[in-house]
Amino acid sequence: SGEILIDATNGGTVTAERDLSIDSNSYDMTFDGVASKKNTLSAGEDLNIDAVTADVINNGNTLQSQLPADSTNTLNGGVTFEADDLYNRSLSGTALAIIYSSSGKVSSRDLTVVNSGGGVYSLNNRDTGGITITTAGDVFNESGRIVSNNGVTVNVGCDLYYRVMRAVAGSNSAVVRHCKRTNSFLFFKADRDVVTYDYGSLEVPDQAAYIQAARGDIQLNFTASGATGNLYNIGGEINADGGMDYVLVSTSIDNSGNDSAAAGGAGDTITLTNASTGDTYTYTVTGTETSNGNGFNNGRELLVKFVEGLNSYKAISGRFSDLSEYEVIEVSELADADDAFGLVFGSEQADQYTLTYNDSSGGSDTATTQTSQSDGSVYIGTSATAANNVNAVHNQAVVNGKSEYHTTCFFYCDRRGSSTVVATGGLISAQNQLAITVDGGAANPSFTPQDLSVNAVLTGADQTIGTSVDPDTGYIVNLGGRLTALNKNEDNANNAIDIQSASSNVNIITSAERLFMAMNRHQGMLAHGHAKIIAQDQGGSFTANMGRLNFTNLGDIRILGGSLSGGTSGEDIYSGGTQTDMDTLDPDRTYPVAESGNFNGHIGITNGFLSLF
């Protein structure tokens, strides 16, 4: 049939010691698993899955790069996927669909420096670890996990689905059932009431769909616009944990880009210093760093030797314990350029690091430490590139589970409650900054967001969202979800959450979800058990900690039981750079509520259990 099919029905692991590349030559590629088994396909360095114009389907397998424990920091451990459509679907809590990169190598789109030729380079110009997914069509991550110790980049030609699927039925509006039974004996009557609030269950219980970058940034690029290019985060989580700060060092070393002459000179020294801890490491150039003949440009070979020496020094001395990442990057494509290579260091104390190059011959070899930068940001769309912007965003928590309230009244009333109700996902979280750029659209007062977690809105074999319930162009919808940015730089003058449109207006609807949950309390010997059902609004929030919440080109905004919060005081809300407040943004806003639902009021012997004829 032309397909590539990897089927591990009995579980197990397939491992490549080095790079693993699978190319299907434009035929569908399927990794099949079973719900009761865990299957793993592992690459010792880079994992490359390339279906070109066909689909990649991962049903319940772990597809990963797993760097060896003794690897140096010059290895990548990256994971790349290229396909028409990508399906990453978990089958159970055992057979999770996982795409994982173990690489902890640095990646940040904001580390830039001007080289000697006047051009600007950044860490995007290097071979990097992390996960890169590129599709001409859709990406479906259904109760699956896309996890990287580095950054994650997704380039999608159509829609992005991070979602959980409901099992048969259920919605965010509970189905309420009431059952009452009365039994009589002589002059006595016993009442039994049961009230149930049922939200349904998930196809894969207790498993959200999520994308996570332990370090680095998350970049979601939508390479098409118009009717396609929507982000559906329905019961999913998008987390940039921001585990690292970085400092970039640019270098200019004689013959750095030359393959035929040694870079630098014997006796030169390269010294790394942490001003806070006093840790220092010095590497002395031997002039023989290029003798291993591995085909690299000589400047890279010299800096690789420095990195390997630092790695050994750390292991032996215990110094530089805060330094988690250090690697060589290529920063110039100019032939034989002296500034062709640089270094990146990752640490929570990155701003304390300097690297110096001492030219023993009095020449012009130098190393220049740049300003430290932070990772941990989520970028949805790219403000400088209209083609990469998202058409619309639908972010939604998915409520599932059941709450029950039982009342039995005879000589005394006994009330018991139970609840398994939870709101799953609907989280977009950045340790640093969250930036969303949408294709602008006109405000539509009649547009009412739908619950897109219900099966009734799905269509076709892929269960895509029907066009009749799609969010309008330019809309960001937040139903019971949370959009948060911690802004770890702690700078209230900058935006922690920045939402803007490429043209026209961005329109926002944020709404809390109402959950009915049971609460139990013991009332003493006579009243016995006591319970009630609590109705409580949750989610529908935009929260910018230690920074501003900014809407640029804001059109329509509706706040329905949700909340906006910016800065340390919770009041730093901006619209196009002008500070305002929520009531000005939406004078018709409503507020979250927490109140008791209806419950049986019988209290025992004097009320309701004794019935005389």
pLDDT tens-place string over residues 532-549: 888 889 999 999 988 889
294 band by pLDDT with thresholds 50, 70 and 90:
very low
Q: In the predicted model, what is the mean pLDDT of residues 320-324?
A: 91
Amino acid residing at 567: G
Query: Mean pLDDT of all residues in the chain?
Result: 82
Question: How far is Cα 321 from Cα 308, in angstroms, rounded to an integer?
Answer: 16
Does residue 543 lie in a domain region? no
CA distances from 116 to 90, 252, 257, 270, 332 (A): 50, 9, 14, 20, 10
Q: Measured between alpha carbons, how far is 191 from 611 in angstroms, rounded to an integer? A: 11
Tell whether the torsion through CA atoms of 384, 388, 392 and 396 is positive or negative: negative
- The average pLDDT across 132-159 equals 94
371-382 pLDDT, tens digit per residue, is 777 788 999 988
Q: How many CB atoms lie within 10 A of CB 371?
A: 10
Instruction: Please check whether residue 397 lies inside any domain of the structure.
Output: no
Distances (CA, A) of 240 to 46, 327, 337, 363: 22, 21, 35, 43
Domain region containing 363: 245-374
Q: Are the C-beta atoms of residues 163 and 234 closer than 8 Å to each other? A: yes
Mean pLDDT value of segment 195-206:
91
Q: What is the per-residue pLDDT across 426-474, written as a single tens digit (0 to 9) for each?
A: 999 999 899 999 988 888 888 999 999 999 999 999 999 998 999 999 9
If one counts every other C-beta atom within 10 angstroms of the C-beta of residue 569, the result is: 8
**What are residue 366's DSSP bridge partners?**
252
**pLDDT category, 118, cuts 50, 70, 90?**
very low
Residue 364's alpha-carbon distances to 169, 264, 335, 532, in angstroms, are 71, 10, 19, 78
For residue 218, tell me if it sits in a domain: no
pLDDT tens digits, 257-273: 777 777 788 899 999 99
Which residues lie closer than 8 Å to 554 by C-beta, 6 or more apart? 505, 506, 507, 508, 575, 576, 585
pLDDT at 59: 95
Tell me the three state secondary structure of residue 439: coil
- Where b means 16+ CB within 10 Å and e means fewer, 47-62 reads bbbbbeebbbbbbbbb
Q: Is residue 37 part of a domain?
A: no
CB atoms < 10 A from the CB of 307, how many? 17
Q: Which residue has the higher pLDDT, 1 or 338?
A: 338
Distances in whole angstroms, Cα of residue 313 to Cα of each of 129, 203, 466: 24, 51, 59
CA distance 341 to 249: 9
pLDDT of residue 112 exceeding 80, the answer is: no
Inside any domain, residue 416: no
Q: How confident is the model at residue 201 (pLDDT cuts 50, 70, 90)?
A: very high
The pLDDT, as a whole number, for residue 225 is 57
Across residues 393-404, what is the average pLDDT?
95
Asked whether the predicted pLDDT for residue 335 surpasses 60, the reply is no
* pLDDT for the residue 604: 39
Give yes or no for residue 336 having a pLDDT over 80. Answer: no
Q: What is the pLDDT of residue 392?
A: 94
* Domain tally, the chain: 1
Instruction: Name the strand (E) or helix (H) holding 45.
Output: none
Show the 3-state SS of 153-219. EEEECCCEEEECCECCCCCCCCEEEEEEEEEEECCEEEEEEEEEEECCCECCCCCCEEEEECCCCEE
For residues 403-429, average pLDDT: 86
> What is the side-by-side strand order in the sheet with 392-396?
4-7, 29-32, 56-59, 86-89, 139-142, 160-163, 230-234, 392-396, 475-479, 506-511, 554-560
Question: Measuring CA to CA, which residue among 132, 163, 139 is closest to residue 56?
Answer: 139
Question: Between 226 and 162, whose confidence is greater?
Answer: 162
Beta bridge mates, 217: none
Q: What are the distances in angstroms from CA 349 to CA 48, 244, 302, 353, 383?
A: 34, 9, 25, 7, 30
Residue 293 clears pLDDT 90, i.e. is over it: no
317-321, 500-504, 578-582: which is most confident: 317-321
pLDDT for the residue numbered 88: 98
Residue 84 CA to residue 92 CA, distance in Å, equals: 25
Q: What is the pLDDT of residue 469?
A: 93
| 595 CB-contact burial (10 Å; exposed 0-12 / middle 13-18 / buried 19+) | exposed
Is 13 domain-assigned?
no
Integer Cα distance of 54 and 582 in angstroms: 47
Short-list 89, 98, 99, 61, CA closest to 203:
89
Q: Tell me: pLDDT of 586 over 80.
A: yes
For residue 522, the model assigns a pLDDT of 61
- Assigned domain for 369 exists: yes
pLDDT tens readout for residues 600-612? 444 434 333 333 3
* Predicted confidence (pLDDT) per residue in 55-102, tens digit: 999 999 999 987 655 554 445 678 999 999 999 999 999 999 999 998
Look at 498 and 599; give whichever has higher pLDDT.
498
| Phi, psi (deg, nearest 5) at residue 191 | -105, 140
Terminus-to-terminus CA distance in the chain, angstroms? 80
| CA dihedral over 481, 483, 488, 490, signed as positive or negative | negative
438 is a domain residue: no
CATH at residue 364: 3.30.70
pLDDT at 75: 56
Residues 6+ apart with CB under 8 A from 253: 263, 264, 299, 302, 338, 341, 357, 365
Judged by average pLDDT, the poorest of 237-241, 267-271, 293-297, 372-376 is: 293-297
* pLDDT confidence band for 204 (50 / 70 / 90): very high
* Torsions phi, psi for 309 (to 5 deg): -65, -40
